[in-house]
Structure 1
Amino acid sequence: MVSRALIFYYRDGCHLCEDMWHQLREMQEQRPFEVQLQNIDSDPELKLLYGSLIPVLAVGKQVICNYYLDPIAVEKHLDGLALNA
């Protein structure tokens, strides 16, 4: 079964992260989907992988978008999951 969960990689005090998070929450009001929060500063490996790219929205190891929310890419991902459900 394919996970519907998106992973939102962020760090505290990141204004781009706050902006993307608010936009994701607005999208969830229109179309429910799961988002797992992951603070990159809690894991040295994540900090190394995503430290200069945050915020990052991903599914597994596949990056959907970073720096700014790409609502079209998110919708395409969610549409793909709906087709496979």
Structure 2
Amino acid sequence: MNPPFTLTLMFREYCSLCHKMRDALQPFQQQYGFGLEIFDVDDDPVLEEKYNERVPVLLDGDVEICHWFLDEAKLRAHLQHEHGSDS
């Protein structure tokens, strides 16, 4: 079964904050059932220029939810407002 929606994480393999945010998202994925696409900004010059020092960046489409650290309250509010998930 496909997830109802997918969030995007702009990431760098060598970035410890990126790994922390990815790991912190796991309980939210289990609770809300969303998919997670991870893009390494260093693999794409356009993404690298756009997000460079701001990674990790968590996005829902073009909407930035947070960057550098997972803002759990903002993520919950976004999920409830945009996706009607109040699990």
For normalisation by structure 2, the TM-score amounts to 0.83
Ranges in structure 1 where 5+ consecutive residues have no aligned partner: none
Structure 2 unmatched ranges of 5 or more: none
Alignment of 1:1-85 (within 5 A): 4-80=5-81, 81-82=83-84
What is the identity percentage for the equivalent residue pairs of Structure 1 and Structure 2? Answer: 31
Q: TM-score, normalised by structure 1?
A: 0.85
Q: Which amino acid aligns with 2:24?
A: Q
Q: CA RMSD in A?
A: 1.6
Encode CA deviations 1:26-49: one digit per residue, 9 max, x unaligned: 222333211111111111010001
Moved over 4 A (4+): none
User: Using the alignment, how far apart are the partners of 2:46 and 2:62 within structure 1?
Assistant: 13
Tell me how many residue pairs correspond in the alignment: 81
Deviation (angstroms), 1:19 = 0.5
